[in-house]
Amino acid sequence: MTSVRIRPTAPDDLDAVLAFWKAAAEGTSITDDRAGVERLVAHDPEALLLAESDGELVGTVIAGFDGWRCHLYRLAVCPRRRRMGIGSALLAAAEERFVRLGGRRADAMVLVRNEGAHHAWRAAGYRPQDQWRRWVKPLTD
pLDDT tens for residues 39-79? 999 999 999 999 999 999 999 999 999 999 999 999 999 99
The dotted CATH code for 5-123 is: 3.40.630.30
Q: pLDDT per residue over 7-44, tens digit each?
A: 999 989 999 999 999 989 876 676 778 899 999 999 99
The CA-atom distances, in angstroms, between 34 and each of 42, 110, 126 are 12, 22, 30
Distance of CA 95 to the CA centre of its chain: 11
pTM of the predicted model, to two decimals?
A: 0.90
H or E segment to which residue 59 belongs: strand 56-65
Position 76 scores a pLDDT of 93
DSSP annotation of 30: T
By C-alpha distance, which of 19, 80, 83 is closest to 50?
A: 19
Beta bridge partners, 64, equal: 71
Determine the length of the chain: 141
Q: Which three-class secondary structure state does DSSP give residue 18?
A: helix
